[in-house]
Amino acid sequence: MKDIQFLVMPYLICITDVKFATLGETVECVRQLFEGLHFMHSHHVAHCDVHMMNAMMDPVPLFSERPHPIDLSRSYDFKRKTKQYTRTGHPTRYYYIDFGLSYRFSPQEGDPLVPVTLGGDKSVPEYNDPSTPKDPYKIDVYCLGNLIREDMMGRASGLDFLRPLVDDMVDPDPARRPSMDEACMRLEELITSLPQRKLRSRVVYRSENPIARLYRDCSHVFRTLFWIATGTPAVPSPVPTNRE
């Protein structure tokens, strides 16, 4: 038994498996993704494979009980129906997974360069010239910016306030991209500049048909009134754990 090691991992699902109800929910997701990547970089770790399938979330707070991984509307044992909650009422956490292409550097290495290894996001400009080593941190910045551009801004309206920051993050020239230090500071400035009304506004997905949009608009009005009356924050941050 001495040679056996157990790896305990959390039960996670894709971020897009549960739709965002409000802009504030989306903002909190983006904030946690920025914070997570900044944490890695500050500890000299480059992920090198940031894309939507490697950005996950804890589904447990969002359902009446642990959902089945294939059908979230059913319980984990598939015997009961689950009730789904919003992130605003039940804040959750977001995680990066899949560190198979990651690098860990020593603090003395300064600005490291590494050989190019293709990750899930094939649009990275550095991949066009794999013959020379690249800055892995700048690749991470591009991939996170592209995730937000394609999988969030590209699917829903109301996120245009992020465009200047995202455009800089996906700049074809790595030297012009911000570091995660700068990106996090700029994001916090953007978040604090948003009024409560904006943060509580409904996320409207581009795929919605007019009838569904009208129904969801009406439901959102009553839900928002409840959140305001109960003092529920517009940006739903999860309660810190003991380790934090």
Identity of the residue numbered 2:
K
Alpha helices in 43-179 (DSSP H): 136-147, 163-169
How many of the other CB atoms lie within 10 Å of CB of 172? 11
How many of the other CB atoms lie within 10 Å of CB of 53? 15
Tokens of 170: 């996906």
- Cα–Cα distance between 180 and 41 in angstroms, integer? 8
Instruction: Check whether 243 has a pLDDT greater than 60.
Output: no
The predicted pLDDT at position 99 comes to: 95
Which residue, among 172, 242, 234, has the nearest Cα to 24 in the 3D structure? 234
The interaxial angle of helices 180-193 and 23-42, nearest 10 deg, is 160
pLDDT band with cut points at 50, 70 and 90 for residue 29:
very high
Question: What's the sign of the alpha-carbon dihedral 151, 20, 243, 187?
Answer: positive
Question: What's the sign of the alpha-carbon dihedral 198, 199, 200, 206?
Answer: positive
Phi-psi region of 158 (alpha: psi -120 to 50; beta: other; left: phi over 0): left
For the stretch 175-214, pLDDT in tens is 999 999 999 999 999 999 999 999 999 999 999 999 989 9
For the stretch 31-77, pLDDT in tens is 999 999 999 999 999 999 999 999 999 999 999 999 999 999 999 99
DSSP-assigned letters across all residues of 170-197: T-SSGGGSPPHHHHHHHHHHHHHHS-HH
How many of the other CB atoms lie within 10 Å of CB of 236? 23
| Choices 1.10.510.10, 3.90.1200.10, 1.10.1520.10, 2.60.120.260: CATH for 13-229 | 1.10.510.10
- Extents of the domains making up the chain: 13-229
How many residues appear in the chain? Answer: 244
Which residue, among 201, 193, 188, 189, has the nearest Cα to 228 in the 3D structure? 201
C-alpha dist (Å) from residue 129 to 9, 132, 135, 138, 200: 36, 7, 13, 15, 44
pLDDT band with cut points at 50, 70 and 90 for residue 110:
confident
Which residue, among 134, 152, 146, 167, has the nearest Cα to 51 in the 3D structure? 146
For range 239-243, the mean pLDDT = 66
Instruction: Check whether 240 has a pLDDT greater than 90.
Output: no
